[in-house]
Amino acid sequence: MTSSEGRRRDSRRGSRTRIDRTNRNILIGGAAVIALAVVALIVVLLVSEQGATSHRVEVIPRNLDVWAVYPDGRVEFATLFYTGDPADPTQSIQTLTAAGPLIAGEDSVIRQAVIGGEETSVEVRQGPGQDANLQFQLFTITRPPSADPYGVDVMTSTSPYLSRTDSGGYEIALGNGDAGAYSQVIVAVALPTGSTVEEPPELAWYRDVRVGGWHVYYFDTTQEPASASIRMTFTPGSNTPKPPDVMVVDKRR
């Protein structure tokens, strides 16, 4: 082997093969741009959907009513009041009242609880006006002075708000009261997932979301006249969900 041949071999053995990565870098860069664009689009769509339908404005005072209908006809009513009343340092105890739903009688109440305080008494009163044949419970709630929300949660075996339809489904009919001094009044109707709403209500919901095993429909009745009503005809899903978390339902409004 000549010295020139040895030099060629040594030169060949010690060289580094240069791979053209230009196309590869272009492909990786393009894929990254596409991925970022997809993520941005998803974020924009989510934000747009939230902005278009969400009524989550932390105004005070406001009220939220939640009506959950179980497949067997039980109805759970929960209400939250946000009054924002500042704590009075001169009072050691804050006394509040909250009304439950209209009922045919106390024997239809399966369970009851207060939210944001302690139940000190329950008074059964006659229903107002044309509902004089019905009753409702008025809860007295006590707690240390606080601006936190308060309310009640009542489950009943039957409800005057719920009736059977000829097709074997249900219709829930909820009247609308005067919003009064409340800046926002939201009504949420929760149906088990898999339920079919057979007819769109006259007063349309502005938002519907999934919360646990529930499909929740939100209605903003703040500006609606007292004559307005929420009527939903539906066939409930067969699953029996756990009771809805009223605080989560409130946050998703």
What are the tens digits of pLDDT across the range 224-236? 988 889 999 999 9
pTM of the shown model:
0.78
pLDDT band at 99 (very low <50, low <70, confident <90, very high): very high
Evaluate if residue 108 carries a pLDDT over 50.
Answer: yes
Most confident range, picked from 45-59, 72-86, 207-221: 207-221
Domains and CATH numbers, the chain: 62-251 (2.60.40)
What the block records as the tokens of 226 is: 């007292």
Evaluate if residue 164 carries a pLDDT over 60.
Answer: yes
Evaluate if residue 22 carries a pLDDT over 90.
Answer: no
Percent of the chain with pLDDT over 70: 78
Strands laid side by side in the 207-211 sheet: 109-115, 150-156, 75-82, 62-69, 184-192, 214-220, 207-211
- Mean pLDDT along residues 32-52: 44
- 10 Å CB burial of residue 24 (0-12, 13-18, 19+) is exposed
